[in-house]
């Protein structure tokens, strides 16, 4: 019995860990999130298509209308949803780049010339771009 609980514990631990790792990967990797959304849309469409007849049989006309309108929505809006996910991925990438650049610049020990606005070394006495005294 103890062995059984140990196995159950290990399986649950591994599953939880995998779930958390996957969650973090999709949150922090915009490309992966975009791909994931695209795949989810495909899966939804496939499940709907595969079960179209069953759903129709169960729900008769209502089901048919529901399936058709869901398919319509996916046909019309599926691309938009994918585009929105791609756009959000792009924006996330841009903001990550901006933050990275700011951090890099903050670490570089550079200041900006008050005359021409170019980047100069923090300890220089004259601007290397406009030559004015700092
Ligand atoms: Zn200058």
Alpha-carbon gap, residue 17 to 21, rounded angstroms: 6
- The H or E element containing residue 112 is strand 110-112
* H helical segments located in the chain: 2-28, 30-50, 52-107
Q: Determine the distance separating the centroid of ligand 1 and the alpha carbon of 97, expressed in angstroms.
A: 27
Alpha-carbon gap, residue 57 to 123, rounded angstroms: 79
The two tokens of residue 6 are 């140990």
Q: Determine the distance separating the centroid of ligand 1 and the alpha carbon of 102, expressed in angstroms.
A: 21
Question: Whole-prediction pTM value?
Answer: 0.30
Which 3 state secondary structure label does DSSP give 113? coil
Burial of 123 (0-12, 13-18, 19+ CB in 10 A): exposed
Q: Determine the distance separating the centroid of ligand 1 and the alpha carbon of 96, expressed in angstroms.
A: 30
Q: What confidence tens digit (pLDDT) does each residue in 29-77 have?
A: 777 777 777 888 888 888 878 877 777 776 666 666 777 777 888 887 8
Q: Which of 11, 9, 35 is nearest to 22 (CA)?
A: 35
What's the pLDDT at 18?
A: 84
What's the pLDDT at 2?
A: 76
Q: What confidence tens digit (pLDDT) does each residue in 69-128 have?
A: 778 888 878 788 888 888 888 888 888 888 888 777 667 666 788 899 888 887 888 988
Q: Determine the distance separating the centroid of ligand 1 and the alpha carbon of 103, expressed in angstroms.
A: 23
Q: Determine the distance separating the centroid of ligand 1 and the alpha carbon of 128, expressed in angstroms.
A: 7
Residue 126: strand pairing partners? 133
What's the pLDDT at 60?
A: 67
Alpha-carbon gap, residue 26 to 18, rounded angstroms: 12
- CA pseudo-torsion sign 37, 38, 39, 45: positive
Q: Determine the distance separating the centroid of ligand 1 and the alpha carbon of 99, expressed in angstroms.
A: 26
């Amino acid at each position: 019995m103890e062995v059984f609980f140990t196995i159950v514990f290990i399986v649950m631990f591994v599953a939880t860990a995998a779930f958390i790792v996957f969650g973090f990967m999709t949150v922090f990797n915009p490309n992966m999130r975009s791909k994931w959304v695209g795949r989810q849309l495909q899966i939804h469409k496939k499940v709907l298509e595969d079960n179209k007849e069953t759903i129709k049989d169960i729900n008769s006309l209502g089901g048919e209308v529901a399936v058709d309108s869901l398919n319509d929505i996916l046909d019309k809006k599926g691309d938009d949803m994918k585009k929105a996910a791609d756009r959000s991925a792009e924006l996330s990438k841009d903001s990550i780049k901006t933050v990275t650049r700011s951090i890099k610049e903050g670490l570089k020990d550079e200041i900006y010339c008050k005359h021409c606005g170019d980047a100069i070394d923090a300890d220089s006495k004259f601007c290397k771009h406009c030559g004015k005294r700092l």
